[in-house]
């Protein structure tokens, strides 16, 4: 294991993880709202926001898929040391991390079952930019409408049509975080 893997975690894990967990829940409850999170630094190309999500949501019982571009020895060592999350293929993942094109094919991920819709994947999508403009969002947690820069709209429309099945998404860029649960309707703006 590289010594770089030993750094970059939370300085005060219980407090910082609780703060990030609250921001994560708030992002899911308010689709399209962009939050700022921090407190951790993983090896490149993992953003600060993705790093804190991994530290907060992953442990030795949450299988993680690292998409091409994020699946390198430095990131693997960091994830292993800080979370203990088993690194798996797409089909087994509870969380998947990567840039949108590298996360494809989306049909390979678990979408839950009618009896257990929660047994699905959550995608952590690393973005070049994250802004409150672009696709129009409506649905639970949105008073009238919200807007979010998404990598595309069609995949999210198909995903919403399967509700209550489907995957949920977190979008990260630098220290910024937003979420798009499967219950959110997405349209071109």
The domain total for the chain is: 1
Q: Which residue has the higher pLDDT, 13 or 155?
A: 155
pLDDT given for residue 2 in this prediction: 56
pLDDT given for residue 99 in this prediction: 98
CATH number at residue 12: 3.40.50.11310
Contact 5, 38 (CB under 8 A): no
Q: What is the pLDDT of residues 85-102, one digit of tens each?
A: 999 999 999 999 999 999
Average pLDDT over residues 115-133: 97
Domain that holds residue 133: 3-187
pLDDT given for residue 10 in this prediction: 72
pTM (global) more than 0.75: yes
What's the CA angle centered on 127, arms 121 and 133, to 5 degrees? 105
pLDDT given for residue 17 in this prediction: 86
Q: What is the pLDDT of residues 22-72, one digit of tens each?
A: 999 999 999 999 999 999 999 999 999 999 999 999 999 999 999 999 999
The three-state secondary structure class of 102 is helix
The candidate with the shortest Cα–Cα distance to 54, out of 26, 2, 94, 11, is 94
């Amino acid at each position: 294991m590289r010594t770089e893997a030993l750094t970059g975690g939370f300085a005060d894990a219980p407090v910082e993880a609780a703060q990030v967990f609250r921001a994560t829940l708030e992002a899911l409850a308010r689709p399209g709202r962009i939050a700022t999170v921090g407190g951790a630094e993983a090896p490149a190309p993992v953003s600060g926001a993705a790093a804190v999500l991994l530290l907060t949501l992953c442990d030795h019982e949450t299988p993680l898929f690292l998409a091409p571009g994020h699946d390198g020895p430095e990131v693997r060592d960091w994830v292993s040391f800080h979370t203990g999350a088993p690194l798996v293929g797409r089909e087994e993942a509870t969380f998947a991390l990567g840039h949108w094109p590298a996360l494809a094919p989306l049909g390979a991920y678990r979408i839950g079952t009618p009896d257990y819709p929660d047994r699905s994947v959550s995608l952590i999508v690393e973005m070049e930019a994250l802004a409150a403009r672009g696709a129009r969002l409506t649905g639970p947690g949105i008073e009238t409408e919200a807007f979010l820069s998404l990598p595309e709209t069609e995949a999210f429309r198909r995903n919403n049509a399967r509700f209550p099945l489907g995957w949920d998404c977190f979008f990260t860029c630098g220290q910024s975080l937003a979420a798009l649960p499967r219950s959110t309707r997405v349209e071109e703006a």
